[in-house]
Amino acid sequence: MQSEPIHDIAHLAHVEMLTPKPEESLRFFVDVVGMQETARKGDSVYLRAYDDYLHHTLKLTAAKQPGMAHFALRTWSPQALERRVKAVEAVGLGIGWTEGDLGQGKTFVARTPDGHNLELFYEAEWYTPPPALKPALKNQAQRFPARGVNVRRLDHMNLLASEVTPTRKFFQEQLGMRMTEQIVFDNGVEMGAWVTATNKSYDIAIARDSTGTRGRFHHMTYALDSREEILRAADIFLEHGVFIETGPHKHAIQQTMFLYVYEPGGNRFEVANAGARLILAPDWKPIVWTEAERKKGQAWGLQTVHSFHTYGTPPVEHAEDKPAKKAGS
């Protein structure tokens, strides 16, 4: 009889983003993106979208270079956390336990095969809105901000990796996530993979880094309620002089409506919407996209911009690592 699916990871919990322009990045996330500050500690500001239930989903930390310091996954239970820690330790990728962070209890630190820092935890504090931010409907985490782009909740994150396969297998085998879609080129090289722990079609994407660098960050993404809101977000980014790298358009892969911009610190940031598309099938077979299919561009024919394949954070000294025009300028 087939082995059973693992259900230990609940969801992507937060991302720690590094920015060399902390004040400008903060203003971007609060005023333009519409997020809420929940705390400050040291060089970090903690932020969340209006319907994120957690204390924070974005930790914005001042640093010399843009990039991602770590990302965190929340488990379904304390037992699930123990099981995943054992699986990660078994392949030598575990680092150790910490006391956690604001809003977050006992935490296990690890690394992906490509070197991205990763946290696993179960204990979490729920966000309680102050009176001025109390929502009209009590099944919502916080009042709708009606400010800027109004992102609803953290959706997913995309990692650049020197090699996709080991990191993708790590998420499948050590963490029990499922692969939903994949790009494999004619030479057999895996160019990208999408894995999920939920009914969303992906929580984490892994893309091949054309510079060959290990452990870099491609982008993180918040969800909006409709495709129309993605278009309105483009209007708002335009008004605020935010650099739009590509979109709004529809991905062929995963069919998500997307819009990519660069936040002031130089990190790529996305707002997206998946419509009512969910992966409900327990026996979903990964969709494998070929090199020829990728050459067709995005769903409605837009060619993928070159920088999307080459630019990541932190920047590296490499002929291929070029942001599109005026990134972070």
Report 11-40 residues binding a second copy (CB under 8 A).
Answer: 11, 32
Q: How many CB atoms lie within 10 A of CB 209?
A: 25
265-304 binders of a second copy (CB under 8 A): 273-278, 280-284, 287, 299-302
- How many chain residues bind a second copy (CB under 8 A)? 81
Report CA-CA distances (Å) from 93 to 16, 176, 199: 20, 15, 27
Residue of 122, 217, 262, 311 interacting with a second copy (CB under 8 A): 122
Sheet holding 244-250, edge to edge: 244-250, 257-262, 268-273, 217-223, 153-161, 204-208, 190-196, 178-184, 287-289
Stretch that binds a second copy, among 21-29, 84-92, 101-109, 222-230 (CB under 8 A): 222-230
Distance CA(94)–CA(324), nearest Å, equals 36
Site mask for a second copy (CB under 8 A), range 136-155, x = bound: xxxxx--xx-xxxx--xx-x
**Minimal distance, residue 81 CB to a second copy, in Å:** 11
Indicate the residue type of 128: T
Give the residues across from 195 on adjacent strands.
179, 204
- Site membership for a second copy, residue 263 (CB under 8 A): no
191-210 binders of a second copy (CB under 8 A): 198-200
Q: How many CB atoms lie within 10 A of CB 62?
A: 17
Site mask for a second copy (CB under 8 A), range 72-111, x = bound: --xxxxxxx-------------------------------
- In the bound state with a second copy, the residue whose beta carbon lies nearer, of 68 and 154, is 154
Site mask for a second copy (CB under 8 A), range 52-71, x = bound: -x------------------
Distance CA(54)–CA(56), nearest Å, equals 5
Contact 92, 53 (CB under 8 A): no
